[in-house]
Amino acid sequence: MTMIHSDGTRPAPPVFGALAFLLMNLVVGIAAFVVLVVLFTVGIGTAVVWVGLPLLALAVVLCRGGGQVERARVYALLNTYIAGPHEPLPETKRWLARVKDAATWKSLTYFILLLPVGIAEFTIMVSFWATSLGLVFLPVYFRYLPTGSYRMWDWDRPWIVVDSTVEALPFAALGVLLLACTVALTKGMGAAHARFARVMLGPVRPPAGSWQPVSGGVM
pLDDT at 158: 67
The pLDDT tens digits for 122-131 are 999 999 999 9
Q: Is residue 10 part of a domain?
A: no
Q: What is the pTM of this model?
A: 0.82
Q: Is residue 77 part of a domain?
A: yes
Q: Is the pLDDT of residue 49 over 60?
A: yes
pLDDT at 98: 74
Considering only residues 11 and 190, tell me which one the structure prediction assigns the higher pLDDT.
190
Q: Is residue 19 part of a domain?
A: yes
Q: Is residue 25 part of a domain?
A: yes
Number of domains in the chain: 1
Q: Is residue 194 part of a domain?
A: yes
pLDDT at 141: 82
Q: Is residue 214 part of a domain?
A: no
pLDDT at 102: 80
Identify the domain containing residue 60 by its residue range. Answer: 15-201
Q: What percent of the chain has pLDDT over 90?
A: 49
* 152 strand-pairing partners: 160
Considering only residues 71 and 88, tell me which one the structure prediction assigns the higher pLDDT.
71
> Which range among 147-156, 181-190, 198-207 has the greatest average pLDDT?
181-190
Mean pLDDT of the chain: 84
Q: Is residue 149 part of a domain?
A: yes
Contacts of 55 (CB under 8 A, 6+ apart): 39, 42, 43, 46
Q: Is residue 1 part of a domain?
A: no
pLDDT at 86: 75
